[in-house]
Structure 1
Amino acid sequence: MKQTEEWHELTAGELPKLMADKLEPFGFAFDRDAYFYAEDLLAGSFSLQVKVSKDGVVSTLLLDIESEEPYVLHLVENAQGAFVGEVKTAYQAVLNRIGEACGEHGSFHGSYVEELLRYVQNTYGDEIEYPWKDDMDAAVIRSHLNRKWYAVFMKVHPSKIGLGGSQPIRIMNLHGTAEQVSALVDGERYFSGWHMNRKYWYTICLDGSIPMMELQQRIDESYALAQSKKRR
C-alpha cells in the first residue's frame, strides 16, 4: 500500500461513525491496528482502499491501476468532466454502501441527516431508534418524555410518494396539524404522509431539498404536536 500521507481522511460529513462489529461482515479485514477494505471501480480501472483505524478514523486511497499512482481529482470540488464525474459517482456509491451497512444510523446517514440528528439530540435529547429490529430501513425519533413519535424515517421506492426513478430514496414523515399539512403538501418538496395518517402527517425527501433551517422548524413543530394531548 502507499504511504499514509497519501490517504484521504474523511470528515464526519462524508461518512457516519462506523461500528466495529459491522466491518468484518461487510468485508473488511483486520490487519495489525486497523480494518481494511478494497474494491475495484469502473471495470478495474481503479482500486479503492478504505481504512478504519482503531479510533474509528476512516481514510480512503484511490489508485489508478494503470499508472499505479493515487488518483485525487474525485476529491477536488470544482473538478469537472464526464470521466471525473463517473469516478466521483463510483467512489461515493461505495462510501454509501459502507455507511448503510456499517454506520451507526444504517440507511439514514450523510451530512444532511447527521446535521438533523445532531440538532434533535442537542435540542430535545432524543436519538434515532430502530423499533423494528429486522428492518434497518425504518426508524423513528420519539420524545423521551412521553414516548410519542415525531419523526419517522423510511427507505422506499420513489413511486410510493409519486416521484419517478428506480432507486430507493430516503424519506421522513413529520407530524402536522390538518391545516398545516393541507397547506404544505405540494407534490414537489412536501408529500402526503406515506404509510401514515395523511391528514396529520406529511413526507419529505432526505435529499437536501428542504433547507436545514426550514427542516429544523418542521421538526420543532412536529415535536410540539407530539407533546400535545389533542390534535388541532
Structure 2
Amino acid sequence: MITDLFSQQRGQADKLIAYGFKAIAPQYTLTQPLSVANFELTITVSLPNTVTTTVIDRDTQTPYTLYLNASSTGSFVAQVREAVLAALQAVADSCFESDVFSAPIARDLIAYVDQQHHDQLEFLWKKFPNNAVWRRANTKKWYAALLTVTPQKLGLTGDDELTVLDLRLEPDQLSQLIDQQHYFPGYHMNKQHWYTIILNGQVPFEELKQRLEHSYQLAH
C-alpha cells in the first residue's frame, strides 16, 4: 500500500522539515500518535520516495505489524491500516511532488511555470495518471498539457513512450506550423486550436517558453 502511494512522487526535503520530520542523515523521521488505541506511528523517508512505517504499542513498547500484511483481516487491523494510510496521505499531500514527468526538459518546464505563473500541474484523469494540465488561475482555462503517449499516437514508430507538450495556437497558424516532425496536430485536444510538441530537445527550451507564453495569452 505504501509503494503505490509514493511510487510516482518525489519527497521535498524542505517540506519534510517544515512538516515536522527530523533529518537523521540520510533519512527523515516523524513520530506521532496514531488515532487507534495507544499506538504510535513512526514514518521514515529516504529520498526521493522510499517510505517505511513502524507502529508501536506504547503500553507494551512492542511493534504491531499485522497492518502490513494484506491478508490480515478484522475490524481492529482495518482501523490501524486506515489510520496509517491517512497519515501517509497527509505526508504525501504536504511533502511530496509528482515525479511522473522526470525528464530534465519536462522538469525545467514545470519549474518555469511554477516560477512564472505559480500554477501547478493538475492530474485530472484517474485512468490516465501520467497526463496533466496547467490552467490559468483567473479564467480556469487550460493553456498547456503534459502528456505521456506512445509514438503511434502521433503517427510515429517505436516502443518507448514519449512525453509531449500540448499548446494553444490560432487556427490560421496551425497549418503553417504542423510538420509531423517537431510539431504535430494536438493529441487528445481540439486539433483546430491545439498542437503537440515532443519534449525530446529538438525544439529549444527558449522556444518552448515563448510558445507556452503565447498559449497562456490565448487562454484568456
TM-score by length of 2: 0.57
How many angstroms does 1:33 deviate by?
5.2
- Note the alpha carbon deviations across 1:158-213, whole angstroms, 9 max, x for none: 01111110121111111110122111110110001112111110001111221010
Report the equivalent of 1:200. 193
Between the aligned partners of 2:151 and 2:145, the Cα distance in structure 1 is 16
The two structures, once aligned, show a CA RMSD in angstroms of 2.8
How many angstroms does 1:19 deviate by?
3.3
Report the equivalent of 2:57. none
Report the equivalent of 1:118. 111
Between the aligned partners of 2:114 and 2:175, the Cα distance in structure 1 is 29
> Cα gap change, 1:111/1:146 in structure 2, threshold over 3 Å: closer, same or farther?
same
Between the aligned partners of 1:219 and 1:211, the Cα distance in structure 2 is 12
How many angstroms does 1:117 deviate by?
1.2
Report the equivalent of 1:217. 210
Report the equivalent of 1:138. 131
Amino acid aligned to 2:131: A
Give the number of equivalent residue pairs. Answer: 141
SS in 2 for 1:104: strand
Contact 1:193 1:202 in 2 (8 A): yes
Between the aligned partners of 2:27 and 2:118, the Cα distance in structure 1 is 32
- Note the alpha carbon deviations across 1:145-166, whole angstroms, 9 max, x for none: 1111011121111011111101
SS in 2 for 1:131: coil
Of 93, 102, 105, the match for 1:109: 102
- Note the alpha carbon deviations across 1:22-75, whole angstroms, 9 max, x for none: xxxxxxxxx99539xxxxxxxxxxxxxxxxx958479xxxxxxxxxxxxxxxxx
Where in structure 2 are the equivalents of 1:1-232 lying within 5 Å?
18-19=10-11, 34=27, 56=47, 104-227=97-220
SS in 1 for 2:110: helix
Between the aligned partners of 1:209 and 1:185, the Cα distance in structure 2 is 15
Contact 1:106 1:136 in 2 (8 A): no
- The runs of 4+ residues in structure 1 deviating greater than 2 Å are 31-35, 53-58, 103-107
Which protein has the larger Cα radius of gyration, Structure 1 or Structure 2? 2
Any gaps of 5 or more consecutive residues in structure 2?
1-7, 13-23, 29-43, 50-95
Contact 1:190 1:202 in 2 (8 A): yes
Between the aligned partners of 2:124 and 2:188, the Cα distance in structure 1 is 16
How many angstroms does 1:222 deviate by?
0.4
Between the aligned partners of 2:155 and 2:26, the Cα distance in structure 1 is 48
Contact 1:106 1:137 in 2 (8 A): no
Between the aligned partners of 2:173 and 2:120, the Cα distance in structure 1 is 25
Amino acid aligned to 1:225: L
% same residue: 35
